[in-house]
Amino acid sequence: MQEERRLAVLRAIVQDYVATKEPVGSKTLVERHSLGVSPATIRNDMAVLEEEGLIAQPHTSAGRVPTDAGYRVFVDRLSQVKPMSAAERRAIAAFLDGAVDLDDVVQRSVRLLAQLTHQVAIVQYPVLSGSTVRHVELVSLAPARLLLVLILSTGRVEQRLVDLDPGDAVPDAETVSAVRADLQRATVGASVVAAGDALADLASRVPGERAALVTRAAGVLADAISDHRSDERVVVGGTANLTRFGDAFDTSLKPLLEALEEHVVLLKLLGETGSSGDLTVRIGAEGPLQELSSTSVVASGYGPGADGSAALAALGIVGPTRMDYPGTMAAVRAVARYVSAILDES
C-alpha cells in the first residue's frame, strides 16, 4: 500500500515538473492531485523517495525534481503506452500516406515526429542488408540497351541500364523474358546478401544461347544490390526544438548540437533498437555519450519485420530528460507502425 502511494506521489511529481518546469512541493501536490492522504504523509513519502534517489532537491528550493532513476521508475511503471487520439491517428495517416517513395517517407516521418513531440527527430533509412528482393524487372529500351529495375522489401527502387557490347547478339522478346525469369528465380524472396551470392554463378546455370545476356544483366543487378549492402543513412529534423528546453540541460547547447551532427553518434543513439520492433527508452546516463547525459532517447524499430522479428531500421526522438514520456512514446510507436505498414504495402 505504501509503495503504491509513493509511486503515485512520484508520478505526480514527474507530471507536474514536466508541465511547469518548476520543482514540486508537497503543498502543490495536495492542491493539484487527489492522493487521499494528508500533507504530512506526502512529505514523509517525498522524504523516502529522496532517500531512494528517485527525487532530489535542487539548490535551496523547497520543491523536488525527479532524478534519472525517478524517470526510469516512472517509465517502467507505465501500465501501457497511451493510445493516440482518433484525430491524431488520422493526421498521421494523412501525412504519411501522401509519400511517393522511400525518401519521401523518411523525410515526412522526420518532420512528423518533430512536430508531434517538439523534440529532435531521427529516422534511419532501412538497412538494406536486412531487406529482401521483392521484384526484378528487365525490359528492352533499344536493340542494344535494356532497363533493369530492382524493388526491395523496404520500398527502395533501383533502375540500372544494361548496355550490350557491339558484338553481342540483339536479344528478342522471348530471350529477354527468359533472362528476366532467371534473375527472378535467383533473387526474389532472398535477402540482398543471399541474392548477391546467387547472382555470382547464375550464368553457369543457364543455357548457352542466353548466358551472355544473363552474365551482363546479373552483373548490373549485383552492383545495384552491393551498392546498398552497408547503407546506413540517418535523417535529423527539429534541432531548433532544443532551444525551447535550454534550461533543461546541464551545459550549453553547443556540445549537444555538435554531437547530433555526427552520423556515428546518431546511429549510437538509436542503438540496438533496429534489431526489433520494441519501443525503448534510454534516460540520461543510460545513453552512449557523456555529451548527451542530459537527454533521453525514445526509439522504435520499424519495417515489415517490426512485429517482434528483426526490423529494418529505427526511428525516434532525442530530448531533455524532462519530457512528456507517455505522449512521446505514443507518438514514436504510432509513427513507427504507420511507416511499417507503408513499407509492407509498397
The residue out of 167, 202, 226 marking a domain boundary is 226
Q: Is residue 242 part of a domain?
A: yes
Provide mean pLDDT across the span 112-141. Answer: 86
The residue out of 200, 226, 252 marking a domain boundary is 226
> 277: closest CA among 248, 312, 245?
312
- Whether 274 and 323 share a structural domain: yes
The residue out of 226, 252, 278 marking a domain boundary is 226
Question: Alpha-carbon distance 293 to 67, whole Å?
Answer: 12
* Helix-then-strand count for the chain, H and E: 12, 10
Question: Alpha-carbon distance 7 to 30, whole Å?
Answer: 15
Give tens-digit pLDDT for 290-299: 777 888 999 9
Provide mean pLDDT across the span 223-235. Answer: 69
Confidence of residue 5 (pLDDT cuts 50, 70, 90): confident
Average pLDDT, the chain: 83
Q: Is residue 102 part of a domain?
A: yes
- Whether 222 and 236 share a structural domain: no
- Whether 209 and 236 share a structural domain: no
Quick check: 145 pLDDT over 70?
A: yes
pLDDT of residue 308: 43
- Whether 198 and 278 share a structural domain: no
Q: Which of 13-17, 230-234, 318-322 has the lowest mean pLDDT?
A: 230-234
pTM: 0.73
pLDDT of residue 110: 94
Provide mean pLDDT across the span 156-185. Answer: 87
- Whether 97 and 237 share a structural domain: yes
Q: Which of 20-29, 136-145, 153-162, 179-188 has the lowest mean pLDDT?
A: 153-162
Provide mean pLDDT across the span 5-12. Answer: 91
Q: Is residue 81 part of a domain?
A: no
Residue 307, CA distances (Å) to 270, 300, 303, 333, 341 in order: 18, 11, 9, 12, 11
> 5: closest CA among 55, 44, 53?
44
- Whether 105 and 254 share a structural domain: yes
Give 266-310 as a 3 state SS string.
HHHHHHHHHHCCCEEEEEHHHCCCHHHCCEEEEEEEECCCCCCCC
| Domain region containing 271 | 86-127+232-345
Q: Is residue 250 part of a domain?
A: yes
Confidence of residue 177 (pLDDT cuts 50, 70, 90): very high
CATH of the domain at 326: 3.30.450.40
Q: Is residue 217 part of a domain?
A: yes
Provide mean pLDDT across the span 75-96. Answer: 82
Provide mean pLDDT across the span 299-320. Answer: 75
CATH of the domain at 156: 3.30.390.10
- Whether 103 and 251 share a structural domain: yes
Q: CB pairs under 8 A, 24+ apart, for 328-331?
A: 328/117, 328/119, 328/298, 329/75, 329/78, 329/81, 329/279, 329/281, 329/298, 330/81, 330/82, 330/83, 330/84, 331/84, 331/113, 331/116, 331/117
Going by C-beta distance under 8 Å and a sequence separation of 6 or more, which residues neighbour residue 11? 74, 77
- Whether 49 and 7 share a structural domain: yes
Provide mean pLDDT across the span 110-122. Answer: 93
> 332: closest CA among 304, 295, 301?
301
Provide mean pLDDT across the span 308-322. Answer: 78
- Look at the chain and report how many structural domains it folds into: 3
- Whether 330 and 211 share a structural domain: no
Going by C-beta distance under 8 Å and a sequence separation of 6 or more, which residues neighbour residue 184? 135, 136
Quick check: 304 pLDDT over 70?
A: no
Q: Is residue 8 part of a domain?
A: yes
